[in-house]
């Protein structure tokens, strides 16, 4: 042990000595290596030394997976993408992995290399806890570095405009302040580990059906106040090194060749200093360089390496300026310097999966939402005599979402159910179950009980099991994945009929949902309790049992509205469904900025469960509201735990009126842990943009002078306190 410590210290001193030597040599032969300079200064110095060929080499790269006849490029670890470095100048290669929910290993390109799976994006958003989201990002960043990756394709922040969207589970809900704030925390968590994070998919990537040809149509002001505001907030809070543009068109132009989005909004109005990378297969022309795209990713999927020889030829002909190409490479280098890729290169090392799994467990616990709890059925008593667990492959583990975000656990997934299909995404269409069995966790939690399991294939068998048990825990699974949307909100494979039969048989039935978003619940009235567990990640089975038995409070809150029916949405029929391949079609976002609960407030429709809803095992009271005005609204109030056990409140502050106009916007939230009888004062100041409107003519945010009304409570439909204050009025830069 002493010898090992001596070797470790010697090794550390050697590394430090090398670093100091490199630092001392930096100003003379490589001035950009001087860490005292800003990232902008270092990038400018280095960029001047690049030849045109070297510069071009940084602007495109292949997908680094052995699919469709492609080979893993020399030097690549094997993952989503790879950009070769410039050895002559010490520029490291970009090793890029998908990342929102953990470091992925698509198609087992790195045999046996697993990672910690975080809960789905919606599960994380349901925590309403920015600290937890940051810690999850830090897990992703640490594991990425330890595997040799220096870019994580993370930061999904597209708003959930349609509950059928196949990738809603990756994102952070329907509200711009919630999604933007939490995405910023996740991005910062990754980048604080010395790894670049992206933010994606810019912008209005609201459905998977026809995602390569869908044209998202929206009025500019409404766009700025909704999806773009979520991106703007996340970029400000997280400072991502790269923005990934989307597949779809926005108002007639492809996102990756959309000069208004990339040049005007992102780079001019927001002053974004990083680089824009394409999504894989989203580039259609070389002139995207002029329109704001800086790097072509997954070039094989485009058919033409537009940012390779065609770009070089365009520069040599004067069709694209050399200055613009220099701007492209300089932006990439700047983000590399800012994240520490030159000073602290990623290197393979040991990973503490147990510690990282504990972070995933904490997030899963806080993200589980208790939707219904009749007569205190939950938490379950550990003294229950018999418990029947039914369906959902609860014996195997917990479900995860599919596609490029799919994380494979260390040692591999033990249960994988192929779904088949056609097209590029067919090979990703498998249900993966993280090996954290809810059944095993329930048995461990109630060792004296007789716990039986029925797989739910036959309704009669499940009904018999339910009839023989004191308590029933029946699972309902909805697998969602990239490349496809749900056609409706039902649970597939006849599960609604199964749950209806089980809940009709035994009123002490708890329904646990593992879904990618909102689902219909035709059996809701007869269910004793309903729990939304989402896709709960590496320790999901333990988290589910902990909430069911009250080891922790039920503290998750819905980050999306659960509608009573699709008729409550502006597009009851999914746009593009059944359209011929490669046919362009419009997705008209007529709701504008009134996404989710905002639109429900406007129409007066009653949802199945409202945004922000979530029950607890204790009770909370809100009091002593004070609203101060001036430049913005500052809202202060007390939250008290009035129950008999500790619990976590998620107080929410809404703007409910401005200048006599009724509306509803989340302008603040928090997550606080309170002991029984404890009271805490919460103070939240609103971002001024949430109080105003975007004026397209002046290209400015306008906050009108006048009275503004706010409400505080536990959910968008459960507001206990109301107040108001006057604002001076102001005009803000975009």
Catalytic positions are 279
- Please state, as a whole number, how many other Cβ atoms lie within 10 Å of the Cβ of residue 573: 8
Query: Which residues are within 8 A (CB) of 53 and not within 5 positions of it... i.e. 6 or more apart?
Result: 312
- Please state, as a whole number, how many other Cβ atoms lie within 10 Å of the Cβ of residue 732: 12
Complete edge-to-edge strand list for the sheet that includes strand 249-250? 253-254, 249-250, 214-217, 585-588
Query: Which residues are within 8 A (CB) of 659 and not within 5 positions of it... i.e. 6 or more apart?
Result: 704, 706, 707, 708
Look up residue 557 and give its DSSP letter: -
- Helix H, strand E, coil C: the string for 569-592 is CCCCCCCCCCCCCCCCEEEECCCC
Can you tell me whether residue 710 is helix, strand or coil?
strand
Q: How many degrees, rounded to 5, is the angle at CA 217 between CA 215 and CA 218?
A: 155
Query: Which residues are within 8 A (CB) of 459 and not within 5 positions of it... i.e. 6 or more apart?
Result: 497, 498, 501
| Contact yes or no for 359/143 (Cβ under 8 A) | no
CA distance 313 to 71: 27
Residue 615 in tokens:
């029950």
Can you tell me whether residue 74 is helix, strand or coil?
coil
Place of tokens 């604080």: 192
CA distance 54 to 85: 9
Place of tokens 């993280």: 434
Residue 561 in tokens:
């509205």
CA distance 99 to 542: 23
Q: How many angstroms from the chain centroid is the CA of residue 56?
A: 32
CA distance 433 to 398: 5
CA distance 102 to 254: 29
Cα dihedral sign for 156, 199, 114, 421? positive
Distances in whole angstroms, Cα of residue 731 to Cα of each of 2, 321, 674: 65, 36, 39
Cα pseudo-dihedral 123, 128, 130, 131, rounded to 10: -80
Complete edge-to-edge strand list for the sheet that includes strand 693-695? 693-695, 700-703, 730-732
- Please state, as a whole number, how many other Cβ atoms lie within 10 Å of the Cβ of residue 294: 27
CA distance 380 to 445: 10
| Contact yes or no for 407/444 (Cβ under 8 A) | no
CA distance 593 to 219: 9
CA distance 102 to 115: 7
562 forms beta bridges with 609
């Amino acid at each position: 042990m002493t010898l090992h410590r001596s070797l470790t210290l010697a090794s550390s001193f050697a590394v430090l000595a090398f670093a100091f030597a490199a630092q001392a040599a930096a100003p003379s032969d490589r001035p950009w290596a001087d860490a005292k300079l800003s990232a902008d200064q270092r990038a400018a110095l280095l960029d001047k030394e690049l030849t045109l060929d070297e510069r071009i080499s940084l602007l495109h790269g292949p997908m680094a997976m052995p699919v469709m006849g492609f080979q893993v490029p020399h030097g690549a670890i094997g993952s989503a993408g790879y950009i070769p470095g410039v050895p002559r100048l010490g520029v490291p290669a970009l090793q890029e992995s998908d990342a929102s929910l953990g470091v992925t290993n698509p198609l087992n390109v790195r045999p046996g290399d697993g990672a910690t799976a975080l809960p789905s994006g919606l599960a994380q958003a349901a925590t309403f806890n920015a600290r937890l989201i940051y810690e999850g990002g830090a897990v992703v960043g640490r594991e990425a570095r330890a595997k040799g990756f220096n870019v994580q394709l993370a930061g999904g922040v597209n708003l959930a405009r349609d509950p059928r969207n196949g990738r809603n589970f990756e994102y952070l809900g329907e509200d711009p302040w919630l999604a933007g704030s939490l995405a910023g925390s996740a991005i910062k968590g990754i980048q604080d580990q010395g790894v670049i994070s992206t933010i994606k998919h810019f912008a209005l990537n609201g459905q998977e059906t026809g995602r390569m040809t869908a044209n998202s149509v929206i009025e500019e002001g409404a766009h700025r106040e909704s999806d773009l505001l979520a991106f703007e907030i996340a970029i400000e809070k997280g400072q991502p090194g790269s923005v990934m543009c989307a597949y779809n068109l926005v108002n007639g132009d492809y996102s990756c060749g959309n000069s208004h989005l990339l040049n005007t909004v992102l780079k001019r109005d927001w002053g974004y200093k990083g680089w824009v990378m394409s999504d894989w297969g989203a580039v259609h022309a070389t002139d995207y360089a002029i329109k704001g795209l800086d790097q072509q990713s997954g070039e094989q999927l485009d058919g033409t390496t537009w940012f390779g020889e065609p770009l070089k030829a365009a520069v040599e002909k004067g069709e694209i300026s050399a200055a613009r190409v220099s701007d492209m490479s300089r932006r990439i280098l700047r983000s590399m310097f800012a994240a520490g890729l030159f000073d602290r290169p990623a290197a393979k090392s040991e990973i503490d999966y147990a510690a990282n799994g504990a972070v995933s467990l904490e997030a899963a616990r806080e993200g589980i939402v208790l939707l219904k709890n009749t007569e205190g059925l939950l938490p379950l008593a550990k003294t229950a005599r018999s418990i029947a667990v039914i369906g959902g492959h609860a014996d195997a583990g917990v479900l995860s979402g599919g596609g490029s975000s799919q994380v494979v656990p260390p040692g591999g997934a033990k249960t994988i159910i192929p779904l088949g299909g056609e097209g590029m995404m067919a090979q990703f269409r498998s249900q993966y179950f993280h090996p954290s069995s809810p059944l095993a966790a329930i048995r461990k939690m109630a060792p004296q009980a007789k716990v039986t399991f029925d797989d739910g294939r036959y309704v009669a068998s499940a009904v018999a099991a339910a009839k023989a048990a004191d308590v029933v825990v029946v699972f309902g699974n909805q697998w969602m994945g990239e490349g496809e949307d749900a056609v409706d909100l039902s649970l597939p494979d006849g599960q609604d009929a199964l749950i209806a039969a089980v809940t009709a048989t035994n009123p002490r039935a708890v329904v646990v949902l593992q879904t990618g978003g909102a689902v219909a619940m035709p059996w809701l009235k007869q269910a004793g309790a309903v729990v939304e567990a989402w896709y709960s990640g590496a320790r999901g089975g333990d988290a589910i049992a902990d909430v069911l038995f009250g080891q922790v409070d039920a503290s998750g809150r819905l980050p999306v509205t659960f509608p009573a029916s699709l008729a409550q949405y502006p597009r009851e029929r999914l746009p593009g469904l059944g359209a011929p391949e490669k046919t362009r079609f419009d997705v008209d976002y007529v709701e504008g900025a009134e996404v989710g609960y905002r639109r429900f407030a406007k129409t007066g429709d009653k949802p199945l469960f409202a945004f922000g809803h979530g029950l607890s095992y204790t009770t909370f009271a809100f009091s002593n509201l004070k609203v101060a005005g001036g430049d913005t609204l500052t809202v202060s109030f007390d939250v008290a735990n009035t129950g008999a056990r500790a619990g976590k409140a998620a107080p929410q502050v809404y703007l409910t009126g401005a200048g006599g106009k009724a509306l509803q916007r989340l302008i603040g939230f928090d997550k606080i842990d309170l002991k029984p009888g404890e009271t805490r004062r919460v103070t939240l100041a609103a971002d001024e943009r949430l109080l105003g409107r975007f004026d397209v003519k002046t290209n400015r945010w306008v906050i009108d002078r006048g009275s503004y009304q706010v409400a505080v409570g536990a959910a968008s439909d459960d507001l206990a306190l109301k107040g108001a204050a006057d604002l001076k009025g102001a005009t803000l830069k975009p």
